[in-house]
């Protein structure tokens, strides 16, 4: 994909994703705009299907929506609320540790800087970027496996890891697309540009896609 093609690509994706469900963390963000709920929902979403995350988040937030209230719950209560998200016991422990840290170091408020968020237990760059962009409307590029895979499949960047992809996209992607890039590519990657045998015959971006690494398609 040529650099100038990204503008037409973004316009097309904005139209295409209307037929698919919005990623669950985006739904939480629109419902509350609460950085704490966005942070916790993102932690729950790691390696977990969207519907499972949505259900678990709803159950947990019926019990507590602040670090103080969350710490008043037992770990077992948190585990029961978030089950069956992936690694639910580990995530319950991380949630408690995050809440303790927020109260001890940040006065109970979620920090709005990526480097500060990365000091919290269980928070990686994907989570930190999502919290900054969705919770605080500040520039960031959230790179999950879909963003990493598709950006490389297009030939727009050429990297080996999501961390390298974030660096490359920060250098190359026009800043006005930073905050929406993940929101566009996640549903696109879940429904059309799938990891194995993508639906290339149905894709409106096929003409500009280099199909890097694609061995079979539909």
Least confident of 1-5, 20-24, 47-51, 162-166: 20-24
Q: Which CATH architecture has domain 5-21+141-208?
A: Orthogonal Bundle (1.10)
pLDDT tens, residue by residue, 49-93: 889 999 999 999 999 999 999 999 999 999 999 999 999 999 999
**Dist. CA 14–CA 11, nearest whole Å:** 5
pLDDT reported for residue 29: 67
Tokens describing residue 19: 């037929």
Longest dimension (CA), the chain: 55
**Dist. CA 203–CA 9, nearest whole Å:** 11
Q: What SS3 class is residue 162?
A: helix
| 198: pLDDT strictly greater than 90 | yes
Residue of 116, 141, 135, 122 lying closest to 28 (CA atoms): 135
pLDDT reported for residue 26: 73
pLDDT reported for residue 202: 96
Q: Which residues are catalytic?
A: 126, 144
pLDDT tens, residue by residue, 108-155: 999 999 999 999 999 999 999 999 998 999 999 999 999 999 999 999
The mean pLDDT of 21-28, rounded to a whole number, is: 75
| 31: pLDDT strictly greater than 80 | no
pTM to 2 decimals? 0.85
Q: Burial, 104: exposed, middle or buried (Cβ in 10 Å; 0-12, 13-18, 19+)? A: exposed
Judge: domain 33-136, CATH 1.10.340.30: yes
Domain locations in the chain? 5-21+141-208, 33-136
Within 13 Å and on the Cβ side, how many CA atoms surround 121?
A: 13
| 25: pLDDT strictly greater than 80 | no
């Amino acid at each position: 994909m040529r650099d100038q093609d990204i503008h037409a690509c973004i316009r097309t994706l904005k139209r295409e994703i209307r037929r698919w469900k919005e990623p669950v963390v985006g739904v939480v963000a629109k419902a509350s705009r609460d950085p704490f709920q966005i942070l916790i929902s993102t932690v729950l979403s790691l390696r977990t299907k969207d519907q499972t995350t949505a259900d678990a988040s709803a159950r947990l937030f019926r019990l507590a929506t602040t670090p103080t209230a969350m710490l008043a719950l037992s770990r077992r209560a948190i585990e029961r609320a978030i089950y069956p998200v992936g690694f639910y016991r580990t995530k319950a422990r991380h949630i408690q540790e995050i809440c303790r840290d927020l109260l001890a170091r940040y006065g109970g408020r979620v920090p709005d800087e990526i480097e500060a968020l990365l000091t919290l237990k269980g928070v990686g760059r994907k989570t930190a970027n999502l919290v900054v962009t969705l919770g605080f409307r500040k520039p960031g590029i959230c790179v999950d496996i879909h963003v990493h895979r598709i950006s490389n499949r297009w030939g727009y960047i050429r990297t080996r890891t999501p961390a390298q992809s974030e660096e490359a996209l920060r250098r190359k992607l026009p800043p006005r697309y930073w905050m929406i890039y993940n929101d566009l590519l996640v549903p696109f990657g879940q429904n059309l540009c799938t990891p194995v045998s993508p639906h290339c015959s149905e894709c409106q971006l096929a003409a500009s896609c280099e199909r890097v690494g694609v061995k079979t398609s539909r």
